[in-house]
């Protein structure tokens, strides 16, 4: 956030709709949602309301994927379909585990998955939005 604020003049307004994959650990650090909303405002991405966000966010299923793979796949699909149905152009991840675990299912369902650092780099013109 500080880097983005220090480089406001370099920010390219993205004008996209995104869904945020809230990490499970963020339940203990709710201030991350506030900071993420500030980043969204700064780079002009919309965060449409969805069923599985903020306090009702679904886990990426990383902790259960090896022992309950069918349940994990069902939860992932529900989560990603919710992001697609709200009109999101991408699912944004913060946690490295969420980023890795959701790579394949987002791709299979046709939704871009972008790590928050890459999203910020896109807003600074360092990376292109995926096609």
Segment 13-69, tens digit of pLDDT: 999 999 999 998 888 888 888 999 999 999 999 999 999 999 899 999 999 999 999
Q: Is residue 43 part of a domain?
A: yes
Segment 103-121, tens digit of pLDDT: 999 999 999 999 999 999 9
Q: Is residue 130 part of a domain?
A: no
The pLDDT score that the predictor gives to residue 72 is: 97
Q: Is residue 12 part of a domain?
A: yes
pTM as predicted: 0.93
- Residues facing 17 on adjacent strands: 46
Domain that holds residue 42: 2-123
- Structural domain count, the chain: 1
Alpha helices in the chain (DSSP H): 2-6, 31-43, 69-85, 96-101, 103-108, 116-123
Q: What is the CATH number of the domain that holds 61?
A: 3.40.50.11810
**What is the rounded distance in angstroms from the CA atom of residue 8 to the CA atom of residue 13?**
10
């Amino acid at each position: 956030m500080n880097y983005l604020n220090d480089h406001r003049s370099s920010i390219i307004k993205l004008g996209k709709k995104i869904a945020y994959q809230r990490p499970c650990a963020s339940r203990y650090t709710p201030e991350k949602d506030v900071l993420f909303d500030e980043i969204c405002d700064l780079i002009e991405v919309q965060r449409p309301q969805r069923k599985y966000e903020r306090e009702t966010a679904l886990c990426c299923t990383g902790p259960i994927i090896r022992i309950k793979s069918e349940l994990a796949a069902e939860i992932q699909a529900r989560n990603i379909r919710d992001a697609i149905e709200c009109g999101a152009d991408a699912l944004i991840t913060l946690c490295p585990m969420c980023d890795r675990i959701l790579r394949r299912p987002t791709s299979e369902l046709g939704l871009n998955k972008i790590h928050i650092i890459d999203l910020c780099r896109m807003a600074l013109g360092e990376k292109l939005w995926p096609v």
